[in-house]
Every structure is written in C-alpha cells, then in structure tokens.
Amino acid sequence: MSDYIVIGGGFAGLSAAAHLSASGKKVELIEASQKLGGRAYSLIDKPTGNIIDNGQHIIMGCYTNTIHFFRMIGAQNNLIFQDKLKVNFLEPHFQKRILEAGPGVYPFNLAAGLLRYKALSLKNRILLLKFFLVLPLSSNRDLSRMSIYEWLLQENQNEKIIKAFWEILAAGALNTSLHKGSAKVFKEILLEIFFKGNKAATIILPKEGLTESYCNNAAEFIINRGGKIFPGEQVNRLNAEGNRVKSIVTNRRNIKDFKYVISAVPFYSLQRVLPENNLITDPGFEYSSILTVHIWLKNNKLDKPFYGLIDSDIHWIFNHGNHLTLVRSDADELMEKSKEAIFALAEKELFRYCFIEKEDITDYRVIKEKRATFIPSNEILYKRPGPATRLSNLAIAGDWTNTGLPSTIESAVKSGRLAAEFYA
C-alpha cells in the first residue's frame, strides 16, 4: 500500500512526490506520457542528434522554491547561476543595450543599472526609476481593477519605455499582454524580482535540456527513497464514496490501496476525471501560448548565452552554440500560421537584429504550446483554488492553483510543496 498517489509528472507532481519522499512517505507517481516533465521537458531532435527543449524556460534568483527543489534532488549543479543581473538586449542592426546591475551594494546597484540602460533616453530612465521608487506604495486594491498597461500609463510610463522594457519583462514573467494581465499580479512579481535582495533579479539557465536538468534527478531521488514511477499510465477516473477517493481507474489497473491522492495535472485534465458531484469550481481560465523556434547555423556569430529583442515579434534568443532557440511569449496570433510562415518570420528577425542570413541557416524546428499558461487576469485573481478539495483525501497542485504567483515554474514547484505539506 502506498501512502500517496501523485498524478502528473511535471514540475508540480515531481515537486510533490520529492517533498513527500524526503519526509519518508511511500509514493507512487503516475504520468500519462512516456516522459516526465509535463510542459517543461527536452527531447532528442533526430535529424541533428541535439537535445532540445519543447520551450526554453528560465529560473530567476527569486524562485526560492525552485532552487530549493533543485538542491533537494541534487540537481543544483545542472544550473548556471548569474553573479548579478545582466541582460543583453538588442535593437535592430545588432545595437547592443545592456541592462546590468552596477557595482556597489543592493539596491543602489540595481538603480545604477536602470540609469545606464541606454535603450532609453536619460529622461525615460529617470521615469523608469521613479516607477520603482513608488512601486511598494501602490494600492493592491486599485491595482486589482487595472490592467498592467493602464497602471503603467498612470505612472507616466510612455510607449518608448513600454516597448524597450515593460513588454519584454511582462511577456517573460506572465506570458500575457500588458492589456490582459493583472496589475496586482505584476506588482507582486516585480516586488519579488527587484525588492528581495541582490540575487533575486538574477537569471538562472539549465546547462542541458530540461529532462537532463531536473526530471532524471527527481525520478532518481524518489525511487531511491522507495517510491515508484509509472510512465505511460493514463488516469481515466477517480471514484469517490462519501467524501473520499476510494479508487483510481487507469488504462492499466484499478488502484485501491492508498491513503491520499495529489492531482498535479492542468485544470482541464483534472475536470475530466473528477466525480461529477465533486467538481472543482471553474475559475474561468483563459490560456496563452508560447512559440519556440529552434534554428541550426553553419557559423554562430552570437557570443552571449541569451538576448532580449526590443520591439520585435520574437522576444528572446537563447544561444546553444550550434543552434539558437527563439521564443515568443503571448503568441496566440501566430499559433494558426504554418511552420513555414513562422520560420520566415524568425529568419527575418534574425537578419534584422543579428545580421544572420538565410544562407547561414541549415535547419529549423517549430514547437507550439497552445495552452502553455493561464492568463493572470483580474477576473480570476481570487478564484484559484488552494490544495484542499471537497474530497478529504484529495489535494491538488499545479501552477494554476492559488500560489500567489502567475503560471511559472516557481508556481508549479511551490504548489507541489504546498500539496505535500497539506496531508503531511
């Protein structure tokens, strides 16, 4: 008999199972796919033999739950940590605009970095700094009624500042447009990034693919502590009697020997398997997509690990040596385009920003994640559920639950910890 059945092998499920295993609980983890990782995994690109991610993911220094999780499973050496915040931005014609924390002590070094960010005029840099100075004083009640865009305009952030700074930051942090995202959620993220110490604003990248960076370590950690992992097993139904889950019906078996269940799958997947009279209230999620284009080059002229593109249809370029990963967050308008049309867009932007020509490109792959994250709008601000459900032995986890964070890796990992602690 297992103490816990964890359904879902993404960040949330692996976090829940690892935290339970660390406290000595017997755990079975069931994952419908043959691979672990959920929406954050890597695969081998057969034509090139390279390991590529389904979408590039970054971790920030303020992701305390994620960093603890990596350390707990022994995967901290799979990450590259910045010593201080440094982002290389590009404007067309390979014009470099660096945002970098200055010398000296926190928070003056971050302020100095903003004042040296030459993608903006001196006047606009001062307006940007003024925004951060009054940020902690902003009313949460007022912001819960405003979009990010409305808030920025209210605080004298003009279109040039928005294009050169806020659009890229909001897209990366929330995967949504400034017009849809909640100003309150964005404020809370900004406080975490810029007001929690010198390391909070730093960017952390995986050394290898995502599967190699955390999935393998997490699986080994769980199994070495007596846990079991069942890939390729699809949960079809949760059967309840009274206020408890009594059995879990999968495509392979009918599981009855367990004490507790933690579901760590997306909301729409959970709804399909719950008993009809125990449905979780639908918060009314809308979803946002992420577009990833992997491009292989004959000769790679780029020498930085990643770049942000200012006022581009592509937000980020990640440099893997023999190939580049281009990422567009909030990519709904591109989802219905053909792979050929998307590649043509990526090719155009690579030339416009980096002088990489068509003849330099040897191959490409396009990956679409249509429901990558939910949109953190004001409408769902107070509707996200916590780990408890109407069934006394069923807890839920996932980046969509009420972690106080948008749909990020940190939210997923935190939700797994909260669900594990709920019945501990």
Q: 337-376: per-residue pLDDT in tens?
A: 999 999 999 999 999 999 999 999 999 999 999 999 999 9
Q: How far apart are CA 110 and CA 403, in angstroms?
A: 27
- List pLDDT tens digits, range 202-211: 999 999 999 9
**Buried/exposed code over 330-341 (b: 16+ C-beta within 10 A; e: otherwise):** bbbebeebeeee
**Which H or E run includes 244?**
strand 244-250
Q: How far apart are CA 269 and CA 382, in angstroms?
A: 21
State the CB neighbour count (10 A cutoff) for residue 374. Answer: 23
- List pLDDT tens digits, range 140-180: 999 999 999 999 999 999 999 999 999 999 988 899 999 99
Predicted pLDDT at 276: 77
- Helix-, strand-, coil-residue percentages of the chain, each rounded to 5: 35, 25, 40
Type of residue numbered 196 = K
Contacts of 239 by beta carbon, 8 Å cutoff, 6+ apart: 245, 246, 247, 248, 249, 275
Predicted pLDDT at 395: 97
Q: How far apart, in Å, are the Cα atoms of 27 and each of 1, 9, 43, 132, 288?
A: 9, 12, 26, 45, 33
Q: What is the mean pLDDT of residues 42-60?
A: 91
Instruction: State how beta strands 394-396 and 2-7 pair.
Output: unpaired
CATH 3.50.50.60, domain 2-76+206-285+377-422, yes or no: yes
The domain ranges of the chain are 2-76+206-285+377-422, 104-201, 287-374
CATH architecture of 287-374: Alpha-Beta Complex (3.90)
- List pLDDT tens digits, range 222-251: 999 999 999 999 999 999 998 999 999 999
Q: How far apart are CA 40 and CA 53, in angstroms?
A: 7
